[in-house]
């Protein structure tokens, strides 16, 4: 899933961000990942086996929300605030660390979206 998502983001950015179908798919997947933490949190207290996944789930949700924000900036052609980009860099650094022996493989594609939204301010 993460590889397919990454390929979709790369194609969307390299295609000049004109592929509305790709954007729709990216948004839909990011929304699922963003909202998944709320669903999982009710289960976390029920099993210690999944409790170690709490940070991973929270990071996935935060990274997905960042991706959605980046798409909004791209859609509006609006310059991203430097402070926002700095916050996202810190988030990406934290989310890139292994949690429960797992890696969030969507961090790099979402970073691509943030970087692309940063280029909007230079147009």
In this predicted structure, the answer to whether residue 26 has a pLDDT above a threshold of 60 is yes
How do residues 76-96 score in pLDDT, each as one tens digit?
888 888 899 999 999 999 999
Across the chain, mean pLDDT equals 86
- CA distance readout (Å), 82 to 42, 114, 115: 35, 11, 12
The model's confidence at residue 1, banded by pLDDT at 50, 70 and 90, is confident
Kindly state the percentage of the chain with pLDDT values over 90. Answer: 48
- The C-alpha atoms of residue 34 and residue 3 are separated, in whole angstroms, by 18
At 19 the pLDDT is 83
For the chain, the structural domain boundaries read 2-41+53-120
At 23 the pLDDT is 93
The model's confidence at residue 120, banded by pLDDT at 50, 70 and 90, is low
**Three-state secondary-structure class, residue 123:** coil
At 122 the pLDDT is 39
At 39 the pLDDT is 83
């Amino acid at each position: 899933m993460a590889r397919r998502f990454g390929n979709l983001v790369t194609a969307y950015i390299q295609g000049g961000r004109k592929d509305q179908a790709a954007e729709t798919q990216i948004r839909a997947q990011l929304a699922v990942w963003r909202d998944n933490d709320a669903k999982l949190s009710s289960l976390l207290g029920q099993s210690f086996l999944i409790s170690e996944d709490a940070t991973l789930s929270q990071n996935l949700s935060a990274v997905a929300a960042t991706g959605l924000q980046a798409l909004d900036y791209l859609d509006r052609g609006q310059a991203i605030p430097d402070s926002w980009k700095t916050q996202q860099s810190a988030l990406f650094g934290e989310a890139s660390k292994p949690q429960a022996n797992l890696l969030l493989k969507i961090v790099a594609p979402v970073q691509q979206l943030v970087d692309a939204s940063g280029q909007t301010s230079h147009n």
